[in-house]
Structures are given as C-alpha cells and as structure tokens.
Amino acid sequence: MFSGILQMTIDILKIDIECAEWRSFDAIFASPGCLNNVKQLMVEFHPCGSRSVIKTPNELLYFWRTLQGIDQLGFKLWRVWNNHVCRLKSRGLRGVLYSCFNAYYLNVKYLQ
C-alpha cells in the first residue's frame, strides 16, 4: 500500500488527520517495513473513541497497543506535548483540559 511513496528517505513524516491517525497505524502495521526510511515521525493524536471520547476499556487498550506498535517499529518517543489548539475549559476541575496531543518520535535506526 505504501511501498512506492516510502522508498526514498524521508526526514520528517507528519501525521495529522483528525482521529484517523489511529486507523492509519493499522494500515502501517499491516505493511511491514513501510516506515523504515522515515527518520522522524510527528503525530497529532486525538483520543477519539466511538463517540469522540474514550468510553470503554477496549478503546483505551486499542490506543495503548497502537502506541506500543509505534515503539516496536523502532520509533522512540522523544517528546510529547499538549496541543493548545485543542484546549477545553473544565468547570469541574477548574482548569484547562486538552483533547489532543502531539508526539515526536525518532527512528533509532538513524541515531548514531
């Protein structure tokens, strides 16, 4: 599926597809080696479950396994931060919540 476009070395691949990033990793995991030539991976994650929020333990487990899968591809998390565009005010917690976050990964194959 991805074989043609990812034959060249890519310095940074950014994935920002508004909740579809989770399913895109299903396709990536089903295409072994498709990210081998990617040096850095930036992903904007939205915790979107069946109704736009995580509501079940299975949804949380799915997200956790996806993050583990990225690690198993050889990408190590370097930095993660809240996306301030996805800011929500919380009356109950008297503060600010974030509905998405950015993660920055490095492919250990390219670290020396």
Q: Where are the alpha helices (DSSP H) in the chain?
A: 21-29, 57-72
Q: What does the domain layout of the chain look like in residue ranges?
A: 10-110
pLDDT of residue 15: 85
Q: What percent of the chain has pLDDT over 90?
A: 21
Q: What is the pLDDT of residues 62-86, one digit of tens each?
A: 888 988 999 999 999 998 877 666 6
Is domain 10-110 given the CATH code 1.10.287 in the classification? no
Strands (E), the chain: 10-15, 38-45, 75-82, 87-90, 95-98, 101-107
Rounded CA separation 3/8 (Å): 10
Strands 38-45 and 10-15: parallel
How sure is the predictor about 51, in pLDDT bands with cuts at 50, 70 and 90? very low
pLDDT of residue 103: 92
pLDDT of residue 11: 92
